[in-house]
Structures are given as C-alpha cells and as structure tokens.
Chains A and B, each alone.
Chain A
Amino acid sequence: MAVLSVILATTLLMGLGVSIVLLGTSEAVLAAHDRASRALREASMAAVHLTVADLRRQPSWSAVLGAGVGPISAQPGRLTEASLTLVPPWGGPPLDLRQSTVDVQAAADTGSGDPQVWRLYECGPLSRVVPAVSVPPLFVAAWVADDPADGDGDPLTDSNGILAVYAEALGPANSRAVTAVSIRKTAPPGEAAEVRILTVRPRP
C-alpha cells in the first residue's frame, strides 16, 4: 500500500515537474525570439548608418549607381567583399547575394516614377562593423538606387541628390529585418556637401 502511494505520488510530481519545465522552456524560447527580433532591427539600422557614412565620402553618387562586379556597386562601401556567395556567421547554407539583389529589385518595383536599378553597396558580417564588441552572429547588407522621383528617366544617374537605401539584417533560421531610407545630399555654394537622412521606414 505504502509503495503504491509513493509510486502514485512520484508519478504525479513528475508530471507537474515536467509541465513546469515545459512552461519555463517555452517562455525562454519566446523571450529569445523577441530578443533576436530586436537585435535584427537594430542591426538593419546599423547597416543604414554604415551606408550613409560611406556615401558621405563619395564625391559622386552617380558613380555609386554604376555597375561593378555583378550586382555590386562600382564604388562599394567598406564592408563589401568581392564574393557574392558568403558563408553566414551562424553557419548554414551560403548566402547568395546575387539572388538577394534580384529579390530587392522585385520588392522595390512599384511601377511609380523612374525605373530603379539596385546596387549592392555594403555586405558582410555585423562583427566586422564593430570588431571590438561582442555582437550577435548576424549578417548585414545594403543596396542603393536612384530615387524614382528625380524625373531624369536614368536609373544610373543621380540628378537631384537623393538616393534610396534598402538595408537588411539577416540572422539564423531565415530571420530578417529591413529598413528603407531616403537620403539627400546638398552642396551649398562654397560649403562642404551635407548628407541628411530624409526618412526612415522600418518594414514589418
């Protein structure tokens, strides 16, 4: 009788214990997903700021819109490597930046205004952007294109000092965050050119 009681009580306790462990685990998984989502969002903003910093140093934005190797800009940013197939920092299959560029091109085509040709401007692991800091194993990439409202009909020439930037942060399990930005360069006579971010639009 005593043995039976102990077995029953032990089984009951085990069931309760397992259910509590499962609840705790799912809570930890949800929290981890939330943390990863926020990290991706911040990483995509980091890609925006890196792109803007590098574009500030470019004397001509039309040169940036020119074709380099494949989809890479003729004057790429500091993070860009020559290879278009990169091993992601979290492992897994390689990232095909040629296909990513095709996807960005398709996503940005609204049929409104001048045609756009998206050039890969920055791409690489986030750890290379901030090497001295421990960061999540994420990959960032940014594309630039002429803005569709400049009215010159030429996607390879910037005639109004405005560019569109599409920045993406990629993480494990196909997670990603995208931020779209418009930037404008103004050069008052006799003064250094000034680059300002016009609008920032994180995508859901």
Chain B
Amino acid sequence: MAIMTTTAGALLSLVVAGQSIARLQPEAADLQQRARVATHVLATELSRAGAGSDAGPLAGPLSARFSPVAASADGGLTIWYVSEGAAQGTLTAALPADAIAASIALDAACAGGSCGFAADTTALIFDNSGCHDLARIDAAAPGGLVFAASPARSCSYAAGAAIAQGEVRTFRVDPASRQLLRRDEATGISVPVSDNVAAMAIDYPAPGRIRVTLRFVPALLRQVPDLVVSLDARPPNLQER
C-alpha cells in the first residue's frame, strides 16, 4: 500500500509537471516564432533601406542625399528605398510644392507597356539639396505623371531632380492592440506584422548601424517570460564604400 501510494504520488507530480510544460511550451514556441517573423521582415526592409537610382545624375544610395532611415513622429522607424526594376527618371521641368502634375524623362528607354511608371504606385522625388518627398501616382504617361491630391510637399524641385518608383514604410508598435504595424506612408494603410509586441526601441550604436529592440509578451499565459529581441542591422546601402 505504501509503495503504491509513493509511486502514485511520484507519477502524479510528473503528470502535473508534464501538463504544465505542455501548456507553456507552445506559448514559448509561438513567441519565438513571432520574434523570428518580425525580425525577418524588419531585417529585409532594412537591407533595402536607402537603395537609390541605378543610373542617371543622382545614381547611388539615398543616404548620399538624405537619411533613408529615420525615426517617425509616432515613435516608429521610417524606411525609404527605390524598388528593384522600378521606373527611374528625372524631372524635365520644375515641380512646385503643390503641383499635382510632373514632366519626366525615364533613365532607361521604355518601349513596352509593362515598363515605366504605373498608376497606384509611389514615387520618390529627391534632389542634391537633401529635399525628398513622396507622391502617390494617380495616372502615368510616357512623359508625365499625375499625382493624387495630398498636402503640399516639403520642397519645390527644379528640373533635373530624381524621381523613382519606391516605398516609404514606417514600422511602429501600437500599444493598444499590441501589434507591430507596417504603414505605407503614401497611402496611410497599416498592416500588422506581428501580434503580441509590447514595445519597440530604436537606437543607432554607430554610423551605418541601427539596433531595433522588440519586446514580445505571451498571448495567454503570464508564466511564460517576455521575450526581448534585438536586431543589430548594418543596412548595406548605408555603408561607406
């Protein structure tokens, strides 16, 4: 009887421990996987940050003209880059800050209908003085673009300024929904990247380096400890070469 009681007690304690592990382990694994996905998305975007025009008078990384990775007003991280294979060109006439039509010339000749600028995409406009803006394209023709109505741009641009199809995205944490969000700055549309993110901190440990620290919290079980992940990125387009 005594042996049986002892054995049963030992087994019971093992069962209780096993149940606890079986409940906590999936939550911990889920947290780890969320961290991998979030850091992968951030690392991919940061690796493209600052990619500029491939040809033309303003060819080269955007970091030669302005900072393509910057803190946003709402505590996030805003990233600028020219998309791969996207239309690139120059303004052929001055573009006042409030103008919605631009005259352009493409860097690479475009004969087919599948190349050149396209409607419902984002154009980055920048020049040698550090001015940079974005505009949503409403309509595109071989020699000109019509932008969607929006607040006036920060600068007026002279002929010769660069214009290229690209992306401007802000990553921030919404404390209410505890989500890491990615916002398209041209459309204002936000999409969630990861759930259960409580905080994001950004610092710049050295020139050309960005450290993003994310704190993930468990969804259900408080017993699972928070997970803090730091992504120490050296975006290739921000390096001196």
Contact = CB atoms under 8 A, between A and B. Distances in A.
Q: What 8 pairs between A and B have smallest CB-CB spacing?
A: A113-B108, A112-B115, A149-B55, A16-B18, A200-B236, A149-B108, A111-B112, A182-B54
Contact of A112 (B8, B40, B52, B108): B108
A112 B55 CA distance: 13
B29 A27 contact: yes
A16 B21 CA distance: 9
A162 B56 CA distance: 10
B60 interface: yes
Contacts, number: 121
Nearest to A13: B14
Contacts of A111: 110-112, 114-115
Contacts of B59: 162, 182, 184, 198
A198 B60 contact: yes
Interface stretch (A2-10, A66-74, A97-105): A2-10
8 contacts: A2-B4, A6-B11, A26-B29, A45-B236, A197-B241, A198-B59, A199-B82, A201-B51
Contacts of B33: 30
Interface string A43-75: 001000000000000000000000000000000
Instruction: Classify the secondary structure of A's interface with B.
Output: mixed
A83 interface: no
Given A17-B18, A111-B115, A202 B7 contact: no
Interface string A113-148: 110000000000000000000000000000000011
Contact of B87 (A6, A27, A112, A150): A112
Given A5-B8, A13-B18, A20-B18, 14 more contacts: A12-B15, A16-B15, A16-B19, A20-B25, A23-B29, A31-B32, A31-B36, A113-B107, A147-B54, A162-B55, A182-B54, A198-B59, A202-B47, A203-B84
Contacts of B11: 6, 9, 13
A180 B14 CA distance: 55
A199 B25 contact: no
B109 interface: yes
B48 interface: yes
Given A13-B15, A199-B82, A37 B108 contact: no
Interface of B: 4, 7-8, 11-12, 14-15, 18-19, 21-22, 25-26, 29, 32-33, 36, 40, 44, 47-48, 51-56, 59-61, 82, 84-85, 87-88, 106-112, 114-116, 236-237, 241
A160 interface: yes
Nearest to B48: A201
Contacts of A147: 54-55
Nearest to A195: B241
B55 A9 contact: no
Interface of A: 2, 5-6, 9, 12-13, 16-17, 19-20, 23-24, 26-27, 30-31, 34, 37, 41, 45, 110-114, 147-151, 160, 162, 164, 180, 182, 184, 196-204
A31 B241 CA distance: 33
Contact of A110 (B44, B48, B107, B114): B114
Contacts of A114: 108-109
Contacts of B40: 34, 37
A199 B51 contact: yes
Nearest to A35: B36
Nearest to B4: A2
A148 B108 contact: yes
